[in-house]
Amino acid sequence: MKLPADFEKTLAEKPAEELCEMLANAEDYLPEAIQAAQAELGRRELPQANVASMVQSATAQRVAEETEYRDGPLDMRIRILILIVGLWMGVGCFLFYRSKGCRKKARQSLVWILYHFGLVFGLLVLSFILYSLGRGR
């Protein structure tokens, strides 16, 4: 695939840290883009030790972000959706997070399915009580 015509100009305007982030996350970019980033860093004549250090730092930051995502709690918006929508939303979230290796989020999806059933049961009991009170008049 061919890169846009102004891609090299855009790279020239980026700081070295962003170029090193591209190298650290090479799987997210086209091979041509990585080669262009390497060429731009070469034109800047930065010491290889500095470039390697910045790439290593960007890699460590990405690993930390992925770990935080994987081990973090289930987002509150997802919890509310499971509480309202119920079983299918919860099972879908469970399967999705389990496939991504997010065990904590997958487990919390199942817990929120139980909360959904508790809410539904509570509403049914409340409606039965209100119906019974209304019928007694």
Could you read off the pLDDT of 73-128 as tens digits, one per residue? 999 999 999 999 989 999 999 999 999 999 999 999 999 999 999 999 999 999 99
Which residues are CB-contacts of 106 (< 8 A; sequence separation ≥ 6)? 93, 94, 95, 97, 98
Cβ 7 vs Cβ 36: under 8 Å: yes
Note the pLDDT tens digit of each residue in 44-84: 888 888 888 888 888 888 888 888 888 899 999 999 999 99
Greatest C-alpha distance within the chain = 89
Q: Which residues contact 35 (CB under 8 A, 6 or more apart)?
A: none
Domain residue spans in the chain? 7-69, 73-135
The Cα–Cα gap between 3 and 6 comes to 8
Q: In 3D, which of 59, 49, 52, 48 has the Cα closest to residue 21?
A: 59
pTM, to two decimals? 0.59
For residue 72, give the DSSP letter: S
pLDDT at 17 over 80: yes
